[in-house]
Structures are given as C-alpha cells and as structure tokens.
Amino acid sequence: MILPGKTLGLIGGGQLGRMFTMAARNMDYRVTVLDPDPLSPAAEFASGHLNTAYTHPISMEEMATTCAAITTEFENAPAEVLTALANRTTVRPSGSAVAIAQDREQEKGFFKRHGFPVGPFAMIKSADDIEAALSVVKLPAVLKTARFGYDGKGQARIANRAELEATLAEWKFPPCILEEFISLKLEISIVLARAADGEISVFPVAENQHVNGVLDITIAPARISESLAAQASEIAKKLAVELSYVGVLAVEFFITADDNLLINEIAPRPHNSGHYTIDACRSSQFEQQVRVLCGLPLGDATQHSAAVMLNLLGDIWRGPDKKNAPDWQAVLKHPGAHLHLYGKREARAGRKMGHVTVCDTNLDSALNVALQIKRELQAAK
C-alpha cells in the first residue's frame, strides 16, 4: 500500500492526466508528469514535469527511481516503456494490457478469442486482403486504422468497394480493420476500477451521443432497462478479469435495434464518458485511479445525482483566431452546472477544451439544462 506523501508517476499530460493529478494532489501525493508538451495541462498541477519524449532514457530512469507507482492517461503511451518501468516499480495498468487496447487487431482478436460479443470485422493490410475482407463484412462498413485513431480520426464510412479501395490508397495502406455498419439504438459505456486483489467497482452505465465521431453528450444513468445495464456490467467485469487488468478501464458498447450488446472498444484509462463521476458520484473515476495505483481500498462508485455531461470543443471559442473564450455566464447561471476547463492555451475546432456536468435530482431536468447551455454557447460563437 502506497500512502499519501509518496510520488506517483504519470505518462501523458493531457486533460485526463490533469484530472488524475488533481485527485492525487488532493490526497497529498506528489505527481511527476512525463510529457513532451511544454504546456501540458497536467503539469500545471504536478509537482514535477519531465518535458521529454516518453522513451527518453534519462526521464525513464528518473521515473523508475523516484516514483512509487506509475500509470498512464492515454492508450497510445508506448507499451514497451510501461513494461520496462514495471521491472523497477509498480505500474498499473500493465504494458501488455495497454498494448492490446492500442491496437484494434489485437483488441478485436482478444474479444473474439474470449467469446465477447462483437460485430463482423476483418483486417486489411494490403490490397490482397480486400476480397477476403468483403466476404466476411457486408457493406456499408466503417474502415479504421489499426493504431492511433481516436475521436473519429483514422476512420471513414465505406459505402462500396470503390470507396474502400480509394480510401486505402489515399491512406497508403496502413493496417486497417473493416467493421460492418451496425444499425444502433444506442451507444453506452461502462467505467470500472479493478484492484490488484481482484476487487471490482463499477460506475453506473452511461449513455453517449456523438457528433462527427467525438463524444458530445453523456447521460448518466443511461436510459436503458435494469437488466440490460446489469448485462453490460457483467460483460465489462468479465473482460477486466480475462485481461488480468489492474486500473481504471472503460468499455464502450453498441446496443443494436433488437437490444443486443456488442463491444465496440476498450480504453485502459479513465474515459471522457466518465467525467460525470467527478460531480455526481461518491468517488470519481480519477480518485479510483489513484486508489488502484496505490493499492488502497476502492472508493464507492454510487451515483448520488442524475447527471448530463457536455463536452466543450474549441469550435465554440470566438474570433477568427479563436482567442476569445465563450461567455461562461451561459453555464454559471445554472446552480447545478459544474464547469471544468482543461487549461489548454490554444483552441481549435474539434479540440476538447473542457466539459460541463449538470447535476439534478431529475435526469430530464439535467438534460434540458445541458441542452440549453449547448444552444447558448453555440449561438454566441
């Protein structure tokens, strides 16, 4: 058990790392952030910032010798760095688990081998694979790069074979996965924490709405039946066990038109759809990340308020150079609205700059306020 006062290491310094660092500092842990960005959002709250590449040998040595335990805030952290550091200190989650989550071929293969529900998919690594892929996957479909795709990046809708061939050629044939387009009723996600002793704590199921591949609104708890929510929770817990996972894990699901669950993907870290837990649950996903990392008892994941989370993208910043922040009165005039800004100095279209969580005793009321905030912020840009 690593008690407050010790130094924790964090690979990656974005907004997820910022919120982890805030949770850790509130519990009196010191935090060293390893991130090449000199304006790292997490580093503003950290006690140390190693401003180098993730693989820099001197920084890795510093992390190994000064940090009682190390975690990551994003799935594209070099898995080999996590594995190497694990030979010197505690690392959660493991490099092997992160390696599966950061490669869609490994991820989908893991789901299939272990009997988890997934839609039809096929790998394409060259033009020679197209015919075989189309024998498994019906069009229309979604083409995704096997690595480094997130928030709609590295993805394309494919209506016919000509589009598939043209897109692969334009992308210069990186390893890709072709996934059959599924008629969906809903998208949901589950965030859980699994401790080293196998204890699992699951947050309520969240309902997610996306715009242009980026999460727009999360509604918690999800507006689904108790039985379907329980089924999703059991699948997520089983997946964490099969993965021998230790840390905070997010599992994204599709709900089909006939109420079947299909796993979309996993994230080996806190998740955008779990931000509501900061304001609406007895313990947040970031406090859970600290607790798991340090071997502390898990916190209580009970939700005490209905919540709707609204992402704030750089699109709503004003002016030709987007230097002007929105008028936050649109948020702050609502007593149940909680504004979280990530300290990013440059606003860009599609860039996550912050979020708002609206809490209420009534879910419909929270949703109405969140949608009002969204309309006012968009109208003023």
Q: What is the pLDDT of residues 117-156, one digit of tens each?
A: 999 999 999 999 999 999 999 999 999 999 876 666 788 9
Which pLDDT score, from 0 to 100, does residue 322 have?
A: 87
- Please, what is the average pLDDT of the chain? 96
Do residues 254 and 184 touch, judged by C-beta distance below 8 A?
Answer: yes
pLDDT digits (tens, 9 = 90+) for 243-301: 999 999 999 999 999 999 999 999 999 999 999 999 999 999 999 999 999 999 999 99
Same domain, 134 and 212: no
Report whether the peptide linkage leading into residue 174 is cis, meaning its omega lies within 30 degrees of zero. Answer: no
Residues 137 and 83 both lie in one domain: no
- pLDDT attached to residue 149: 64
Q: How much is the pTM?
A: 0.95
What's the structural domain count of the chain? 3
What residues have CB less than 8 Å from 60, skipping those under 6 apart? 81, 84, 85
Q: Is residue 288 a part of any domain in this protein?
A: yes
For residue 327, what are its two tokens? Answer: 């008028």
> What's the confidence (pLDDT) of residue 75?
86
DSSP 129: G
In a domain, 111, yes or no: no
Looking at the fold, whether 160 and 197 belong to one and the same domain comes out as no
Structural contact between residues 69 and 10, judged by C-beta atoms closer than 8 angstroms: no
What pLDDT was estimated at residue 76?
A: 86
Domain co-membership, 323 together with 202: yes
The domain in which residue 136 lies consists of 120-180
Same domain for 336 and 270 = yes
Looking at the structure, tell me whether residues 191 and 159 fall in a common domain.
no
* Claim to verify: residue 176 and residue 28 sit in the same structural domain: no
pLDDT in tens, 50-86: 999 999 999 999 999 999 999 999 988 899 999 999 9
* pLDDT at residue 104, rounded to an integer: 93
Q: Confidence class of residue 381 from pLDDT cuts 50, 70 and 90?
A: low
Same domain, 167 and 192: no
Confidence grade of residue 20 (pLDDT, cut at 50, 70, 90): very high
Residue 322 lies in a domain: yes
Write the CB contacts of 229 (distance below 8 Å, at least 6 apart in sequence): 204, 205, 221, 222
**Based on the domain organization, do 139 and 270 belong to the same domain?**
no
What pLDDT is recorded for position 147?
Answer: 86
Nearest CA-CA partner of 152 in 42, 313, 324, 376:
313
Helices 79-86, 57-66: inter-axial angle, 10-degree rounding? 40
Both 347 and 208 in one domain: the answer is: yes
Is the predicted pLDDT of residue 325 greater than 90, yes or no?
yes
- What's residue 380's pLDDT? 76
pLDDT of residue 165 exceeding 70, the answer is: yes
Structure tokens at 113: 């081998």
Same domain membership, residue 148 and residue 57: no
Q: Give yes or no for a contact between 114 and 242, defined as CB atoms under 8 angstroms apart.
A: yes
* Order of all β-strands in the sheet with 121-124: 121-124, 176-180, 141-145, 155-158
Q: Do the beta carbons of residue 290 and residue 131 sit within 8 Å?
A: no
Domain containing residue 44: CATH number: 3.40.50.20
CATH number, position 201: 3.30.470.20
Residue 102 lies in a domain: no
Establish if 97 belongs to a structural domain. no
Look at residue 6 in the predicted model and tell me its pLDDT: 98
**3-class secondary-structure state, position 17:** helix
Rounded to 5°, the CA angle 42-46-48 comes to 115
Q: Contact 94/101 with Cβ under 8 angstroms?
A: no
User: Is 45 contained in some domain?
Assistant: yes
Of the three residues 148, 180, 212, the one that is the final residue of a domain is: 180
| Residue 316 within a domain | yes
- Domain-located, residue 162: yes
CATH number at residue 155: 3.30.1490.20
Average pLDDT estimate for 337-358:
96
Q: Looking at the structure, do residues 261 and 365 belong to the same domain, yes or no?
A: yes
Integer angstrom CA distances of residue 66 from 23, 32, 60, 80, 286: 20, 9, 10, 19, 22
DSSP 272-302: GGGTTHHHHBSS-HHHHHHHHHHTPPP----
pLDDT, mean of residues 310-320:
94
